[in-house]
Structure 1
Amino acid sequence: MQVITNHKAIRKNFEKAIEKVNEADLKIIPAGFNNNILWNIGHVVATQNVLIYGMSGLDFTLPTDFIKKYRKGTFPSDEVNPKIELETIFELGKIADEQLSYDIREMRFGDYEKYETSFGITLNSFNDALQFNNIHESLHLGYVMAIKKALGY
């Protein structure tokens, strides 16, 4: 599926985008921004689960505390070790992606609760959510790149 291929490319771009970022800078919120690099990456992983599993009426595939920490409307915690947190986020992202691929093959997705995104797009189905997720992740990849620039990278 092209949508999954695109998703994997977006996630690889997150990894590339932060390769040279100092660990401490992952937590900095530059002037004019509401969040930091670490939060943006955690947010896309959590949101994927909310949009695809939550709105499909299925259990999240990620820990509920992780979803609560990074879902829409949350803000970064200053109490995290950025290196450990980043490793956790990327690991949970890989686990979620593997589970999603499996669940697509098993055709687990049926009913979907209609959802109006803050982007102005209405999601009516699992397929809508899968496609929109790439838009959402690309938006946050842009935020990560802008934050990097604001931090002098």
Structure 2
Amino acid sequence: MTIFDQYKLTRGLFIDSISPIAKDLIDLQPPGFRNTIHWQIGHVLVIAEEIANFPHRSKSSLPDNYKKLFGRGTKPNDWPQNVPSMDQLVLDLQDQVNRIGNMSSEQVQERLTEPFDGIDRFEEFASLGLFHEAMHLGQILTMQRILEQNHSSYHDL
């Protein structure tokens, strides 16, 4: 299985897992968490964009405001009014995995000019991205369970 196959599989599982989450839960911040499900999904998209544009990590095909909304160190409490919807983020996730899958062999063979934690090859960088995506999916599913439990207990009152 190639790294591209792994990305398609992981992203497909990611999208399939987030799609059934109730819309009224995505912008709630569970106790003990610094962000929301909405932020988590946008964050996965923004970080994976560095992989989609390998080796030019600063280049992006996403709208300019995405990094300010979902980049490292950001949080939903600082968001302005105009935040992309979940439907838009899912479309962006699908487009992104297609762009990753269509990378040229020349692009994949290039190396990062500035290594990231000692990583400078595409497969190493993409593997780290897969780990990142899976880690955030775990966070999302945990947040979902907590919010669903809290949400149902509010309805019981």
Q: Which residue of 2 aligns with 1:115?
A: 116
Contact 1:52 1:126 (C-alpha < 8 Å) held by counterparts: no
| Corresponding residue number in structure 2 for 1:119 | none
Contact 2:52 2:96 in 1 (8 A): no
Alpha-carbon distance between aligned partners in 1 of 2:20 and 2:80, rounded to the nearest angstrom = 21
Task: Give CA-to-partner distance per residue, 1:43-75, whole Å, 9 cap, x none.
Answer: 111101124526x22622222322332111111
**1:133 and 2:119 are equivalent in the alignment:** no
TM (normalized to structure 2)?
Answer: 0.78
Matched residues in 1 for 2:85 and 2:80: separation?
Answer: 11
1:141: how far off? 0.3
Q: Which runs of 5+ in 1 are unaligned?
A: 117-121
Pick closer, same or farther for the CA change 1:16–1:96 going to 2, 3 Å: closer
Partner in structure 2 of residue 93 of structure 1:
93
Gaps of 5+ in 2: 150-157
> How many equivalent pairs are there?
144
CA–CA distance in structure 2, aligned partners of residues 138 and 9 of structure 1? 11
Identity %: 20
What is the one-letter code of the residue matched to 2:106?
Answer: M
Greater Rg over alpha carbons, structure = 2
Distance 1:74 1:132, change over 3 A: same
What is the identity, as a one-letter code, of the residue corresponding to 1:131?
Answer: S
RMSD over aligned Cα, in angstroms? 2.3
Other-structure match for 2:38: 38
